[in-house]
Chains A and B, each alone.
Chain A
Amino acid sequence: MHKTITIDGQEVPFEAGQTIMDAAISADIYIPHLCHNPDYQPHGSCKLCTVKVNGRNCSACTFPAMEGQDIQNHSADLEQDRLRITQMLFVEGNHFCPSCEKTGNCQLQAVAYYLKMHDNHFPHFFANREMDASHPEILIDHNRCIFCNLCVRASQEKDNKNVFAISGRGINKRLIINSKSGQLKDSDIDINDCAAHICPTGAILIKGTGYQVPIGQRIYDQQKIDEVSLAEESKDHG
């Protein structure tokens, strides 16, 4: 017999070793997330997946499911926390959607739409971040990095390389590239690597592919991120 947890009043079965996020995805329940991708080890850094487990805040993507947990996911309080977290991500980097090739297909933007974010609420950092256009096929725009660590994990776990790392702390945190010059062109990244395609924002882009889909037909023009995310993630892991 399956063990169960309860998410917003709904009984959800889980198997030993599953996280709350895993169990939710298997049951077609969307918990907002950015740094989590079921193909990779959980990282637990963005905190967007914060849920209340028996009254305490926990990250659903890292917290193990355990018999009898009573979990709140879509409460007004939690959605408000998630909105503020998303706004913090926006003011920490430089996210100028109208000039970004990822616009319409960006998970950060889509989560913001999902949370009905109209403004950035906080004062902007206008951080000074660089662009690395050195590689002939792959562009890095550090202005848009949210430090989700997915490219780091993709490179290590799937590509068996070690192209990326996050270095520094707090406001000095940055994505670094494993090459002598520190530039992408001197790393061993390849355009077919998972790491080149995993970025949820427009921080890692394939050159020459921008703006190919007209406005109105892009991923999140058509569907909200909860539908897109469940369709992709429960198909592979349900």
Chain B
Amino acid sequence: MADKLKLATTSLAGCFGCHMSLLDIDERMLELAKHVEFDRSPITDIEHCNPCDIGLIEGGVCNSENVHVLREFRKNCKILVAVGACAINGGLPALRNHIPLEDCLNESYRDGIGIENAQIPSDPELPLLLDKVYPIHEIVKVDYYLPGCPPSGDVFWTFLSDIIAGREPSLPYELIHFD
């Protein structure tokens, strides 16, 4: 059998819903495991991306750490895939984009209802927030997009099966959803 394809996954400004949806391929995970080996991913706890065939990115880009992780993926992955609404257009986190960052922080940590010990988090370990939440294609080149919030297990399965078989990936009408 040919060498397994290497697959890395990450969630940036996402909710892990897309990762949960990947798990919705259920028992097909066993079939997938015959062809694919997971590299950096919440599933493996590998912390840095090694050279990979496929990188799946969930979530948009909301802070400096997201930028670094995304660039690490782009550098290491032959095929980079924007997975889900947030990676594709910023998604619901991007609803903050028309509100100045300072106002967002003040509302969340200083002026909001029920806040005790109000202070804007400033620990140097915390990644700095960007002015806006960006779709990943505005930061790096993206090769494929899997729409959906989240894309269904069948979307992941169809896409990965196509890649494994060496076909140009294509989604039938029923699998193209923005919600």
Which residues on A are within 8 Å of B, measured CB to CB? 90, 94-100, 103-104, 109, 112-113, 116-121, 123-124, 126-129, 215, 224
Cβ-defined contact, B94 with A126, below 8 A: yes
Cβ-defined contact, A123 with B138, below 8 A: yes
- Bound-complex Cα distance A125 to B178 (A): 19
Contacts of B138 in A (CB 8 A): 123-124
Which residue of chain A is the closest to B144 with respect to CB atoms?
Answer: A118
- Bound-complex Cα distance A123 to B144 (A): 16
Contacts of A99 in B (CB 8 A): 92, 95
Cβ-defined contact, B149 with A97, below 8 A: yes
Cβ-defined contact, B89 with A98, below 8 A: no
Cβ-defined contact, B85 with A96, below 8 A: yes
Identify 15 residue pairs between A and B in the complex whose beta-carbon atoms are under 8 Å apart, listed by A's number. A95-B89, A97-B85, A97-B179, A98-B178, A104-B179, A109-B178, A113-B177, A118-B146, A119-B82, A119-B88, A119-B89, A120-B135, A124-B90, A124-B138, A126-B90
Contacts of A113 in B (CB 8 A): 173, 176-177
- Bound-complex Cα distance A103 to B177 (A): 9
Which residue of chain B is the closest to A118 with respect to CB atoms?
Answer: B145
Does B97 sit at the interface, judged by CB under 8 A? yes
Contacts of A117 in B (CB 8 A): 176
Contacts of B94 in A (CB 8 A): 96, 124, 126
Contacts of A120 in B (CB 8 A): 88-89, 135
Known A124-B135, A126-B97: A215·B145 in contact at CB below 8 Å: no
Cβ-defined contact, A118 with B85, below 8 A: no
Contacts of A124 in B (CB 8 A): 89-90, 94, 135, 138
Contacting residues of chain B (91-135) with chain A, CB-CB under 8 angstroms? 91-92, 94-95, 97-98, 132, 135
- Bound-complex Cα distance A109 to B149 (A): 14
A202: min CB distance to chain B, Å: 11
- Bound-complex Cα distance A126 to B90 (A): 10
Q: Is the interface of A mostly helix, strand, loop or mixed?
A: loop
- Bound-complex Cα distance A95 to B90 (A): 11
Contacts of B142 in A (CB 8 A): 119
Q: Which of B90, B92, B176 contacts A118 (CB 8 A)?
A: B176
Q: Which of B82, B97, B178 contacts A103 (CB 8 A)?
A: B178
Does B147 sit at the interface, judged by CB under 8 A? yes
Cβ-defined contact, B147 with A118, below 8 A: yes
Which residue of chain A is the closest to B177 with respect to CB atoms?
Answer: A113
A201: min CB distance to chain B, Å: 12
Q: Mask for B72-97, Cβ within 8 A of A = 1, else 0?
A: 00000000001001001111101101
Contacts of B178 in A (CB 8 A): 97-98, 103, 109, 112
A210: min CB distance to chain B, Å: 13
- Bound-complex Cα distance A109 to B138 (A): 22
Does B171 sit at the interface, judged by CB under 8 A? yes
Contacts of B176 in A (CB 8 A): 113, 116-118
Does B137 sit at the interface, judged by CB under 8 A? yes
Cβ-defined contact, B179 with A103, below 8 A: yes
- Bound-complex Cα distance A199 to B137 (A): 30
Cβ-defined contact, B135 with A98, below 8 A: no
Cβ-defined contact, A96 with B91, below 8 A: yes
B104: min CB distance to chain A, Å: 14
B21: min CB distance to chain A, Å: 13
